Amino acid sequence: MADLNLLRELSLEGDTRIVMLVLDGLGGLPREPGGPTELEFARTPNLDRLAAESMLGLSIPIGNGLTPGSGPGHMALFGYDPVRFLIGRGVLEALGIGFALTPADLAARGNFCTVDAEMRITDRRAGRIPTATCAELVEKLRAIRLEGVEIFVEPVQDYRFALIFRGPGLSARLNETDPQKTGVPPLPVAAQAEEARRAAEIANRWIAAAREILKAERPANMVTLRGWATEPGLPRFDEVYKLKAQALAVYPMYKGLAMLVGMNVLQGLRRLEDQLEALRANWTSYDFFFIHYKYTDSRGEDGNFEAKAAEIEKVDAVIPQILALKPDVLIVTGDHSTPAAWKAHSWHPVPTLIHAPGRSRRNAVTGFGETECLKGVLGQFPAVDLMPMALAFAGRMAKFGA
């Protein structure tokens, strides 16, 4: 695995273009022993044809046996060690609703909960109140003002909201207030390091004010706060890779992750066609494009094998449009596997294809799928190696040492 400092030293400016097409949760499992996976079941004539003239392999997002969340899965694709560059849940929650974080922000994930007269939690999710109720309560909580910090409260979904304190010197070294069980009161926020004393004080004052506002409500009459995190200050694509990168994503979370690594994020994209249209429109203005397709993961999480395969087919249909732009390097991969059989993310390696005309060795493969990828020239490799390979195949890496 290449060190970022080494990549920073070796990466070169260039007039070549790289497209990274990420089918979220692409990897899968057979429905019955010996059967095809979702990708193998899907009719993908374009990807199959491309596979025969590309390099195939399987990328390992974090490590064998380790199932990545969306944050680590994408950090690995972006070339950043996902264990070292861990993104806190509070930050992911804020990114997921499109909140533009700044380096001065301390973010937490909030849950509305129910407490009894003795402040003991009776329901950690307040009966899973609907999102509309969540939004109404959040509106009330926005009245809270505290000296020295700007405060943002944003509804997320059901009983979940995002809380952001903005101000100087706010450390995330705080404990979570959710005791993870009922019958006991929420925990107070305590600083886990001297540097976090001020943040703890602010958090406790905010919680007290929130309780004041919520005490007459039913069932959501209290809050818990989890996943304290600050903006992670990640290395940027332009300074590490010398790439001018653009993200073409629909979902806020992935736009947010792209923003964290310094990509330009195009807003307002709703469908795959919008993403393709934007790719064409911006082709000469950027040299790296991250295209994110969410629904393969969504249908995998639903446990719907055929629907996931159908989503893969939709992406297959636009491959010729990408190839028409003649990218120097086209990567087709996923951030992790989401087998429909599991209805969840998994650690299984992810089918990956690198198309780099004139720079490839041949595979003896017949199409794009988990089993064929095993025969590919890329072998099984750490997902963080994708970026150095993309740069190398795009002619944008200097020789190491004389």
Please report how the helices 386-393 and 70-77 are oriented relative to each other, as an axis angle in degrees rounded to 10: 30
Stretch that binds a copy of itself, among 12-20, 68-76, 156-164, 278-286 (CB under 8 A): 68-76
Give how far Cα 216 sits from Cα of 207, 211, 212, 220, 270, Å. 15, 9, 8, 9, 40
How far apart (Å, rounded) are the C-alpha atoms in residues 342 and 63? Answer: 19
- Asked if 83 interacts with a copy of itself (CB under 8 A), we say yes
How far apart (Å, rounded) are the C-alpha atoms in residues 213 and 221? Answer: 8
How far apart (Å, rounded) are the C-alpha atoms in residues 217 and 37? Answer: 49
C-alpha dihedral, 200 to 201 to 205 to 208, nearest 10°: 60
- Asked if 89 interacts with a copy of itself (CB under 8 A), we say yes
Binding-site residue total for a copy of itself (CB under 8 A)? 68
For a copy of itself, give the closer residue by CB, 35 or 169. 35
Quote the least distance from Cβ 64 to a copy of itself, whole Å: 4
For a copy of itself, give the closer residue by CB, 85 or 165. 85
Quote the least distance from Cβ 115 to a copy of itself, whole Å: 26
Residues 321-380 close enough to bind a copy of itself by CB under 8 A: 341-342, 344-348, 357-362, 364, 370-371, 374-375, 377, 379-380
Quote the least distance from Cβ 57 to a copy of itself, whole Å: 9
Contact code string over 198-227 relative to a copy of itself, x by CB under 8 A: -----------------------------x
How far apart (Å, rounded) are the C-alpha atoms in residues 371 and 303? Answer: 21
Kindly report the number of other CB atoms within 10 A of residue 318's CB atom: 18
For a copy of itself, give the closer residue by CB, 218 or 375. 375
Residue 48, helix vs strand vs coil: helix
DSSP 103: T
Residues 5-24 close enough to bind a copy of itself by CB under 8 A: 6, 10
**Among positions 25, 26, 37, 293, the unique one binding a copy of itself when judged by CB under 8 A:** 37
Kindly report the number of other CB atoms within 10 A of residue 284's CB atom: 9
DSSP 349: -
Quote the least distance from Cβ 272 to a copy of itself, whole Å: 25
The residue assigned the tokens 């499992």 is 29
Stretch that binds a copy of itself, among 82-90, 112-120, 123-131, 187-195 (CB under 8 A): 82-90
- Asked if 192 interacts with a copy of itself (CB under 8 A), we say no
For a copy of itself, give the closer residue by CB, 98 or 357. 357
For a copy of itself, give the closer residue by CB, 106 or 279. 106
- Asked if 65 interacts with a copy of itself (CB under 8 A), we say yes
**Among positions 67, 131, 192, 321, the unique one binding a copy of itself when judged by CB under 8 A:** 67
How far apart (Å, rounded) are the C-alpha atoms in residues 127 and 121? Answer: 12
Stretch that binds a copy of itself, among 15-23, 143-151, 265-273, 386-394 (CB under 8 A): 386-394
Kindly provide the residue ranges of all beta strands, DSSP E only, lying in 266-387, ordered along the sequence: 288-293, 329-333, 350-355, 379-382
- From 389, 302, 336, select the one nearest 58 (Cα to Cα): 336
Residue 153, helix vs strand vs coil: strand
- Asked if 167 interacts with a copy of itself (CB under 8 A), we say no
Residue 278, helix vs strand vs coil: helix
- Asked if 235 interacts with a copy of itself (CB under 8 A), we say no
- Asked if 233 interacts with a copy of itself (CB under 8 A), we say no
- From 85, 192, 101, 114, select the one nearest 150 (Cα to Cα): 101
84 and 63 Cβ atoms separated by less than 8 Å: no
How far apart (Å, rounded) are the C-alpha atoms in residues 17 and 2? Answer: 21
DSSP 259: H
Contact code string over 119-158 relative to a copy of itself, x by CB under 8 A: ----------------------------------------
- Asked if 243 interacts with a copy of itself (CB under 8 A), we say no
* Structure tokens that stand for 206 in this block: 């905010």
For a copy of itself, give the closer residue by CB, 10 or 276. 10
Interface ranges with a copy of itself (CB under 8 A): 1-3, 6, 10, 29-30, 33-35, 37, 53, 58, 62-72, 82-83, 86-87, 89, 92-93, 227, 341-342, 344-348, 357-362, 364, 370-371, 374-375, 377, 379-381, 385, 387-393, 397-402
